[in-house]
Chain A
Amino acid sequence: MRQKKFEKMGKGFILHLFLVMLCVLMMLPFCWVFSTSLRLPGESFRLPPSFFPTDFYYQNYLDVFSKFPFARFMLNSILVAVTVVALNALVSTMAGYSFARIPFKGKSAMFMLFLAGMMIPSQATMIPVYIVMSRLKLVGSLWAIILPAIINPLSIFFIRQFMMTIPGSYEDAAYIDGAGRWQIYLRVILPMSKSVIVMTMLLNFIASWNNFMGPLIYLSDWNQMTLPIGLRMLQGYMGTGSIGIILAGVALSILIPTGLYLAGQKYFLQGMTLSGLKS
C-alpha cells in the first residue's frame, strides 16, 4: 500500500518535472526578447546570452517610436482588428442564431455550404478577391484587409453549436411576451451567449493581429502598414545592427493580444468548452 503511494507520488513528480521543463523552454524565447530589448545596441548579440535583463537601456523602446512610425503601425493594427472583430461578431452571431434557432427551408444545405467554406484555402480566393478590391479602388486601403475577414465559417460554427444548447423555453417566454425574432436575438440569445462570443472575438482579434498575407498583398505605404509587415520593415532597416530596437518592437506587438487574452481567459475557456465539438 505504502509502496504504491510512493510510486504514485513519483509519477506525479515526473509529470510535474516534465511539464515545468517544457513550460520554461516555451517561455525562454520571450525572456530572451524582453531582456535583449533592454540591452545596449553593442550588446545585442552578447554571448553567452542572458535570459534575464542585465541592463536597463529603455532607450530602445523610445527609439522604436521616434525612429519609425511604430505608433502608426500599432494604431493601424488596432483599427483593423477592432473593426474586423466588431463586424465579424455581428455577422457570425446573426448567422449562428439563424442556424441554431430558426427552422427554415434549405437550412441544412446552407449550413453545409458554410461548412464547405472552411475547406476553401485563402490562396484559392485571394487572387479574385484582389481583383475585386482593385476594381473597388481599395488596394492600399485598410478596408482591403478588413472586409474579407468579416466572414469566418469557423466562428459561425462555434456560435451555432453554443446557441443550440440554450433551452428553447427562454425564447418561448420572450415570444409570448410579444418579442420578435430580432428582439429575442438581441435581448435573450446574445446575452446568454457571452462566453462563445468573447471566445470568437478573441480568436478573430488574434487572427487579424497576425494577418501577414493581407498587408503583404494590399499595403505598400508606411502610413497604412500594420504591425506584422511593419516589423519586417523594421528588421530590414536595422539589419544586424541593433536588434535591441527590433526586439523592443516585437515585445510591444505581443503586449496587446496578451492583455486581451488574460482579460478574456475565463470566457474563452467557457466558450470553448460549451461550444464543444460534438454533433
Chain B
Amino acid sequence: MKTMSVKTNKKPLSAFQKRKKADNLAGYLFLLPALIAFVLFIGGPMLLSLALSFFDYNLIQPLEFVGLKNLKRFIADPQVRIAFLNTLKFLVILVPIHCILGLLLAFAVSRVRSGRMRSVYRGVIYFPTIVTTSSVAIVWVYMFGTDTGVINYFLRQLGGSNVPWLTDKNVVYLTVALFSFWKFIGTAFLYYFIGLQNIPDVYYEAARIDGAGTRQIFLRITLPLLSPTIFFVVVTNMIGVFQIFDEPFIITGGGPGTATKTMSLYIYQIAFQQMKTGYGCTLAFSIFLVILMMTLLQFGGQKKWVTYDYE
C-alpha cells in the first residue's frame, strides 16, 4: 500500500519536473516562426533603415557613406515641414473623430434595447471597414466631384452652391475626414461597443438605484471603466493616422498642390519614385521616432486616467 502511494505520487512529480525543464526550449520553439518573421520584416528592417540613413543609395549603385548629409538635408528640407504639418493636421482632425464619435456611437447603440436592432446598427456601422479601401475611395471621388458629383447635386437642390470638395486646400480635409469617418469609424466603434458590453450590469443597476441620470452614468461609470479600451483606441488610432497613406494617395493625390501631402506620401515619392533610398530611410526613421515619443508619452500619462482593476 505504501509503495503504491509513493509510486503514484512520484509519477506526476517527475513529469512535472520534466515539463519544467523543457519549458525554455518549448517556449522558444513555439515562438520561433514569429521571431524569425519579426526579425526579417519588422525589427531588422527597422535597424537597417537607421543604418541606411547614413548612406546614399539608389538600389542600383553601391552604398556610399555620407555621414550626416541626409540628416542635414532633412532639417533644411521645406517639404518635410509641409508633410509633417499636414500629417499633424490629419492627426488633430481624425483622432478625435474616431476616439470621441466612435465612443458616443457605441454608447448610443449599446443603449438600444432590442437585441435585433442593436446587431443591425452594429453591423451597418462596422460594414464599411471591411470593404476595399481603394475601391470605395474611387467611389468617393466620383460622389464628391465638383460639377458631376452626387453630393454637390443635392447641395444645389437644397439651395446651396457647389462645394470644391477636392480642389480647395482646406475643404479637402473635410472630405477626407468624412471619408475616414464613414470608412473607419467602425473599428473604434466596435472596440468600444465590446468594452461597454464587458462592463458588469451591477454597476449600472447600483447607479440607477442611487438615482443617477444617463449623463452621470456615462461620466462616472462608463468612462472610467472603459478607460483601458479608450487608451487602446487612442494609441492605435494615433499610430494609424500618423501613417496615413491610402486616403491622400487615392482621393487627393496629395493635392491640391501639397495640401494633403503626408509624411507617408513623401516617403513613397522620395524612396520609390525618386529612388533616393538613403534619404527615404531618414524620413522613415523620423516617423518612427515621432510615433515612439507619442506612444511613450501616452503610456506615461495613462497612470493619471486609466483604471485597470475594477473587479
Contact = CB atoms under 8 A, between A and B. Distances in A.
Contacts of B194: 269, 272-273, 276
A49 B182 CA distance: 20
A20 B311 CA distance: 36
Interface string B224-251: 0000110010001001001101100110
A123 interface: yes
A164 interface: no
Contacts of B52: 127-128
Interface in A67-122: 90-92, 94-95, 97-99, 102-105, 107, 110, 113-114, 117-122
Interface string A212-224: 1100110000000
A185 B24 CA distance: 16
Contact of B138 (A120, A130, A250): A250
Interface in B264-286: 264, 267-268, 271-272, 277, 280-281, 283-285
Contact of A150 (B22, B37, B45, B130): B37
B31 A110 contact: yes
Interface in B1-40: 12, 15, 19, 22-24, 26-28, 30-35, 37-38, 40
A98 B31 contact: yes
Given A16-B117, A48-B153, A102-B27, A277 B34 contact: no
Contacts of A216: 268
B121 interface: yes
Given A103-B23, A132-B40, A176-B12, A250 B136 contact: yes
Given A131-B59, A176-B12, A217-B272, A120 B42 contact: yes
Minimum-distance CB pairs A-B, first 5: A104-B27, A128-B45, A151-B37, A95-B34, A98-B30
Interface of B: 12, 15, 19, 22-24, 26-28, 30-35, 37-38, 40-46, 48-49, 52, 59, 105, 108-109, 111-113, 117, 120-121, 123-125, 127-136, 138-140, 142-143, 148, 150, 153, 157, 182, 190-191, 194-195, 197-198, 228-229, 232, 236, 239, 242-243, 245-246, 249-250, 263-264, 267-268, 271-272, 277, 280-281, 283-285, 287-288, 291-292, 295, 308
